[in-house]
Structure 1
């Protein structure tokens, strides 16, 4: 109601203002219907009230004026009116002067509107014309050519004024277009800018600080080196120089402050400047690293699985033959050789198991992980294996909030590094585990020791499988397994020597866990005992639960109940249809988690992994909670 009153007040004020000007004004829409006119328009042409009401047709007004002789003696009024309507529909700017039957001289200035239609202004120029005639009468000594020129200039000035008005309207429209364009670019998750010939910003969508935190947003007039800082500028400078030479450049670099990965495009504009687009691709890079590691592991598994199988058979044969030899009546010296051979064969079997762990199917299962508790548990696990003269300390400055990590894989990797540090230090020394956040991008965990440090060869080859500095006591698979774990998570690993020893730095994606969410869960399981167990898990997690045993029952419940937040379904169910059929028929309407006891090699299990998260039975409440959090995120 307040809005209607406000609109009425604005309309009344606009009409009153237009009525105060000395010119007649009319506005018609693209269908040539009257939108607005002032009182002067009605008075100038002596129009009836019906023709000055909104919606009055331009055709009717022209017909009324022509019938009254406004345009002279017309024998065919309808033809003349049709011609004027056709001219009006062209919506072209125009300026004319004409003398009315009553002797009044008026100028008519028309301009099209952006949305169609036009506005016309009618000005009484009778006195101006009379002054011109008087000038002509009193200046007989002046040549007629001079007077004609003066009159022509006067008319030209009036046309110029009309043109200026049209240009001002065009400028207004361009200003609106520019504002819309700027708004669009400012909403994009990228920094878009333009550098002039001197590498100074003359346009920016003010998103530099969003892509590279810590940089200013208002950078117009700044040189690119001032906006980016010396470190980042040195990384982009060669590519920028290439763009100023006329060659476009697309490249990536790691920003120094919080280790974000940035993709930059430099494009020459053809006039000496350069267009710039910068995008934060940190998460994309983390996902790409994880995918590349997964593919490498799959290739390694294909290459080693056959060899490992054959080698395992050979070791089995060797152990069997040695067992038979041990039962024979052989010299004591032979017993020693038999025992050594058996120990070596068993060690080969352990090595095969570790190779299988590295190349087998290991998929990280991120869940909400309390890093403070994880590191304290690690201290408890590692301390008994350390010599009495060796210390282990934990320095954790990570924010006190759960992170999405696979706690088992992370803890195994850190324990492996602690044991390596123990071996490097000998009987005494200090091992330190430190953890901190790098911006909101990385969680960095460092395991450092006071040992002799890495040799030059170790720094170069330590991540290669089977490289070891422990001689016969090492397998050369510890650090490669840690590297594999970090890469699968989308992170990175670095080896360094420090003034006091060595350190291994794990950098994992910093992803805070979303808050736990409760809601209505549809549990689809055909075995009564398992369904009861899973229902208790869900209730303990704060979820309300409804149950079904088949796809048909589940679809009926989803159709009748509109607030189901999640479906937890077994793959094999009552009837011929499976959990995969349920997902297909729901077509993404409700998030789904599948569970199964089928082996990974089963085709149904492999198909399920392609369409939804899969929990392998048996699973723990923590694993179920982690997947529920992930689906809620």
Structure 2
């Protein structure tokens, strides 16, 4: 931990006020601190109490002054002491110094290497013990000896208690850091007992399954997850209690998020005592996986059809050429021209079909661009209306956010126009076609095309997305819905068909906000108000970022030191603890944006504003995006 000079000075002043002498050496046998009582007890010169002095030099000085009595071989004596220090172990001892004073010496190793030693002058205690022995006429020698032994044991016990307290402190510190690390994980980590009751949670359930509560310790799994979600997870929990670990994925119905769950039995000697639970939001991973799978399918289809299409295209070319030559001949039978024209039409239709197959299997890539959904739907209505004519009415209901989102506009436009034309062909004149668009939990964009026609037949519901299936007879290619399915899968989405007073086709596509000018990254959010952290975190997540949270400069330092992938820092000025966001700005290497609700006359506000990349609370998501962008540009 980085300490300020004033912080070190206060610690040193406090150690100088205690009665015991104290020395601290690091793992390299270099002096960290000797307090004033230690310097006075051993009459050490100033040159030997400066940080960095070697342990060897201090031992040499004390030995030469006779602190350890007569020493035959000084260098050998020093070497032995140095080797003992390198393999330092906790100890307690009492010894009489050359000047007749008696001291107790207790040493304890430090968690990060090195050790601390405390010296206590117990001369008066020893004198009282001797006086009691000399003047007592009624206490037996055995009782007196036992009293001395108890006194010595008590001092050793006090030393052990101090070591235990230090160990307890270190364990408590480690537990706090472990809990902080667990809380910073972008996953929900929990433990349930044999009654399926939560005994631990890192309070991230709501991040993984929006709409849930984070306060679940003491609740059963059914109470915390809700009936629909527990119906999915419950059977896997029962298997875990039987000692069978599992990893599975499911769609969290209330939020439409895709969640991966790992259940690990908590067992000792084969006896299961509970289950460890790890849940992660893998929605974007799933969307990317679906898109990758569809790309691979397209590649395989292209390999299978390319050779066939080439030969078929050559055959059609020959057929067209031969039929054209026949068409120009004289003295043909009366019905020959009809047959020739039919053959030409069939060959041309075969060529058109080849082009459609090439479109489906060719190297088309998903190419998202920033799009405003209301404008996109308005342009779609302008393009689609003329193709419907006056016999059909198109109604577009766009309940969509007015932000900028990354969408392959050309691919989506082709799909929707195809669906609108299919709905027209399936609907009697005078019918209505409705396109409705909506955002689902800020995760998905759902677009539904509905018509007032007879709907899908049972066979069409099961096969409509298959290539070459058509209900239009000879007029249809059977590739329209298959192309829509292919385009949607390339974007990481899905297609659903059903009947409800007509045919309904629902496209579900990933809804990803576009962050203009600022690449998405890992943001360290430093704010000591939980409510504000939650609100600002939601803004950052909506802009495509991942978020870590801290409440003080100390916590932020720990995260910055252990996680090199942090791209941006967003910090309040006034935080928990003595240090401020301005102090944090002096030590970070990442672009940092400061924010505050302090008045403009406050010196901290003025100092932060002078740095640039500054946010005055409250602020909008657009203001946040701009401030982060300015900070990143300023650091570049």
Deviation at 1:461, TM superposition (A): 0.8
Equivalence for 1:148: 145
Report the more deviating stretch, 335-344 or 455-464.
335-344
**Of the two, which has the highest radius of gyration?**
1
For these two proteins, the number of residue pairs brought into alignment is 513
Equivalence for 2:165: 168
The equivalences for 1:615-626 within 5 A come to none
CA contact (8 A) 2:211 2:255 kept: no
Deviation at 1:370, TM superposition (A): 3.5
1:273 aligns with 2:271: no
Deviation at 1:478, TM superposition (A): 1.4
1:482 aligns with 2:484: yes
The equivalences for 1:287-326 within 5 A come to 287-326=288-327
Give 1:250's match in structure 2, choosing from 247, 252, 257.
247
Equivalence for 1:196: 193
Deviation at 1:33, TM superposition (A): 4.9
Q: Deviations over 1:550-571 (max 9, x none)?
A: xxxxxxxxxxxxxxxxxxxxxx
- CA distance in 2: counterparts of 1:309 and 1:57, whole angstroms: 83
**Structure 1's 170 and 516: CA in aligned 2 closer, same or farther, altered over 3 A?**
closer
Deviation at 1:190, TM superposition (A): 2.7
Deviation at 1:264, TM superposition (A): 1.7
CA contact (8 A) 2:468 2:479 kept: yes
CA contact (8 A) 2:373 2:401 kept: no
- CA distance in 2: counterparts of 1:73 and 1:98, whole angstroms: 15
Q: Which runs of 5+ in 2 are unaligned?
A: 519-632
- CA distance in 2: counterparts of 1:77 and 1:336, whole angstroms: 122
Equivalence for 1:239: 236
Give 1:388's match in structure 2, choosing from 373, 383, 390.
390
The equivalences for 1:74-473 within 5 A come to 79-100=76-97, 103-137=100-134, 143-271=140-268, 272-326=273-327, 327-386=329-388, 388-473=390-475
CA contact (8 A) 1:91 1:116 kept: no
**Structure 1's 63 and 346: CA in aligned 2 closer, same or farther, altered over 3 A?**
closer
**Structure 1's 46 and 342: CA in aligned 2 closer, same or farther, altered over 3 A?**
closer
- CA distance in 2: counterparts of 1:328 and 1:214, whole angstroms: 79
User: Secondary structure at the residue paired with 1:465?
Assistant: coil
**Structure 1's 391 and 299: CA in aligned 2 closer, same or farther, altered over 3 A?**
same
- CA distance in 2: counterparts of 1:466 and 1:125, whole angstroms: 98
- CA distance in 2: counterparts of 1:31 and 1:382, whole angstroms: 78
With the length of structure 2 as denominator, give the TM-score of the two structures: 0.72
**Structure 1's 223 and 381: CA in aligned 2 closer, same or farther, altered over 3 A?**
same
Q: Deviations over 1:33-62 (max 9, x none)?
A: 554334433444455555555556655555
CA contact (8 A) 1:95 1:162 kept: yes
- CA distance in 1: counterparts of 2:322 and 2:49, whole angstroms: 114
Report the more deviating stretch, 427-436 or 351-360.
351-360
Report the more deviating stretch, 315-324 or 244-253.
315-324
- CA distance in 2: counterparts of 1:299 and 1:52, whole angstroms: 76
Deviation at 1:321, TM superposition (A): 4.4
CA contact (8 A) 1:387 1:428 kept: no
- CA distance in 1: counterparts of 2:28 and 2:348, whole angstroms: 93
- CA distance in 1: counterparts of 2:419 and 2:184, whole angstroms: 45
Q: Deviations over 1:79-136 (max 9, x none)?
A: 5455444434432222112334555433222222334443332223334334434444
CA contact (8 A) 1:387 1:427 kept: no
User: Secondary structure at the residue paired with 1:507?
Assistant: strand
Deviation at 1:515, TM superposition (A): 2.1
Deviation at 1:445, TM superposition (A): 0.8
User: Secondary structure at the residue paired with 2:88?
Assistant: coil
- CA distance in 2: counterparts of 1:64 and 1:353, whole angstroms: 94
CA contact (8 A) 2:110 2:116 kept: yes
User: Secondary structure at the residue paired with 1:363?
Assistant: coil
Equivalence for 1:536: none
Deviation at 1:262, TM superposition (A): 1.7
Deviation at 1:165, TM superposition (A): 1.1
With the length of structure 1 as denominator, give the TM-score of the two structures: 0.73
Deviation at 1:332, TM superposition (A): 3.5
- CA distance in 2: counterparts of 1:360 and 1:59, whole angstroms: 77
Q: Deviations over 1:340-373 (max 9, x none)?
A: 3433333333333322322233223322234333
**Structure 1's 49 and 382: CA in aligned 2 closer, same or farther, altered over 3 A?**
closer
User: Secondary structure at the residue paired with 1:258?
Assistant: coil
User: Secondary structure at the residue paired with 2:264?
Assistant: strand
**Structure 1's 142 and 372: CA in aligned 2 closer, same or farther, altered over 3 A?**
same
User: Secondary structure at the residue paired with 1:199?
Assistant: coil
Report the more deviating stretch, 130-139 or 417-426.
130-139
* Superposed CA RMSD: 3.2
Q: Deviations over 1:479-498 (max 9, x none)?
A: 11111111122211110111
- CA distance in 2: counterparts of 1:48 and 1:361, whole angstroms: 81
